[in-house]
């Protein structure tokens, strides 16, 4: 494979008309230019220049190579110049992953307002309950609850979440109020990873055996509203239903610890300007 820097040197020599002039334009020793041309000719097994102490002209093969290489190299140079010219403006793609049941309204509002300020930034969003490998999946930011990030990852807490054990008014009417965690029936539990995290961080004790397991807190809330059973849910997710009397808080005497919603980044080096700027913007939106 021909190295790009050899082709760039070749094009500069043609443009400058001599090795010495090309070396001055490139800011390198003449010997470097000469070595690059020799290496290119050796790689191609072609003679590209006819040269003497006073003159330098392209061979037929040299003219053919120059015709093939000039347009792509000029296009590349223009592209690089354009990228450098945008240094003062945020641009490029941000790949974002968030929980499958995260409210879309909050994220949509944050992304829309950010893009109005920075129209050259683009987004790719992946909703999933899986804890993805941020490096392997080329993720810039992950919105997560819980722990277990790799050692190189950088995490930033953005929001404290309170929790509530709850059931529908209809379920309570049919089953009565439980007096302890052990008396909870028809438990709607999240997947094992989140369940273990909540048992450790929120309850400080295990939940009873679940009647059903779901991978979405929104599904758990829907099951509660339908009167299926009891669930441990974020207070903010069910507060409007509590105020309407559709959902009742259970076991208010049981202390429940808060959890933190975090932004996770693959490594500190991956927190490039557009990623850092959106992280700040999203943190403000979540805390509003």
For residue 89, which of 273, 244, 220, 217 has the smallest C-alpha distance?
273
Cβ atoms < 10 Å from Cβ of 207: 22
Distance CA 65, CA 10 (A): 9
C-alpha distances in angstroms, 46 versus 2, 56, 132? 13, 16, 50
Provide the pLDDT for residue 116: 94
- Digit-coded pLDDT (tens) for 112-164: 999 999 999 999 999 887 788 888 888 999 998 866 666 678 888 888 999 99
Task: Report whether pLDDT(84) > 60.
Answer: no
pLDDT of residue 42: 87
Is 30 a residue whose pLDDT tops 70?
yes
- Residue 23 banded pLDDT, cuts 50, 70, 90: confident
* pLDDT of 54 over the 90 cut: no
Q: Are 213 and 190 in contact (CB under 8 A)?
A: yes
Q: Say yes or no to pLDDT of 26 above 90.
A: no
What is the Cα–Cα distance from 188 to 238, expressed in whole angstroms? 15
CB 187 within 8 A of CB 265: no
What per-residue confidence (pLDDT) applies to 82?
55
Work out the average pLDDT over 51-68: 80
Position with higher pLDDT, 147 vs 233: 233
Q: Which domains does the chain have, with CATH numbers?
A: 4-85 (1.10.10.10), 94-160+260-287 (3.40.190.10), 163-257 (3.40.190.10)
Instruction: Give the mean model confidence (pLDDT) for residues 101-109.
Output: 86
Q: Beta strand pairing status for 247-249 and 230-234? A: unpaired
Nearest residue to 187 via CA among 202, 174, 206, 170: 206
The per-residue pLDDT for 221 is: 95
Q: Is residue 211 predicted with pLDDT exceeding 70?
A: yes
pLDDT band at 231; cut points 50, 70, 90: very high
Average pLDDT in the chain = 87
Least confident of 57-66, 80-89, 133-142, 200-209: 80-89
pTM for the whole structure:
0.65
Place of tokens 């093939």: 68
pLDDT band at 8 (very low <50, low <70, confident <90, very high): confident
Long-range Cβ contact pairs of 237-243 (< 8 A, separation 24 or more): 238/164, 238/166, 242/164, 242/166
What strands lie across the sheet with 141-145, from one edge to the other?
121-127, 92-98, 141-145, 259-265, 154-161
Q: Give the model's confidence band at 13: pLDDT under 50 very low, under 70 low, under 90 confident, else very high.
A: confident
3-state secondary structure 128-141: CCCCCCCCCCCCCE
């Amino acid at each position: 494979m021909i190295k790009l820097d050899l082709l760039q040197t070749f094009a500069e020599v043609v443009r400058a008309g001599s090795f010495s002039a090309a070396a001055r334009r490139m800011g390198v020793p003449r010997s470097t230019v000469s070595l690059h041309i020799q290496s290119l000719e050796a790689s191609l097994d072609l003679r590209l220049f006819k040269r003497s102490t006073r003159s330098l002209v392209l061979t037929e093969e040299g003219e053919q190579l120059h015709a093939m290489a000039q347009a792509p190299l000029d296009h590349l140079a223009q592209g690089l110049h354009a990228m450098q010219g945008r240094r003062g403006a945020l641009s490029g793609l941000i790949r974002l992953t968030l929980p499958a049941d995260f409210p879309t309204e909050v994220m949509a509002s944050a992304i829309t307002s950010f893009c109005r300020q920075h129209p050259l930034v683009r987004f790719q969003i992946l909703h999933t309950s899986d804890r993805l490998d941020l490096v392997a999946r080329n993720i810039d930011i992950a919105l997560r609850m819980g722990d277990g990030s790799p050692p190189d990852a950088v995490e930033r807490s953005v929001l404290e979440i309170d929790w509530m054990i709850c059931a529908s008014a209809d379920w309570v009417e049919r089953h009565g109020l439980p007096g302890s965690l052990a008396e909870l029936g028809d438990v709607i539990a999240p997947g094992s990873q989140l369940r273990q995290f909540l048992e450790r961080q929120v309850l400080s004790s295990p939940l009873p055996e679940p009647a059903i397991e779901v991978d979405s807190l929104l599904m758990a809330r829907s099951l509660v509203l339908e009167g299926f059973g009891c669930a441990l849910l974020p207070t903010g997710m069910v507060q409007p239903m509590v105020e309407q009397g559709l959902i009742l808080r259970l076991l208010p005497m049981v202390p429940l610890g808060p959890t933190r919603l975090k932004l996770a980044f693959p490594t500190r080096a991956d927190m490039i300007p557009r990623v850092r700027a959106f992280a700040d913007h999203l943190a403000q939106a979540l805390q509003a």
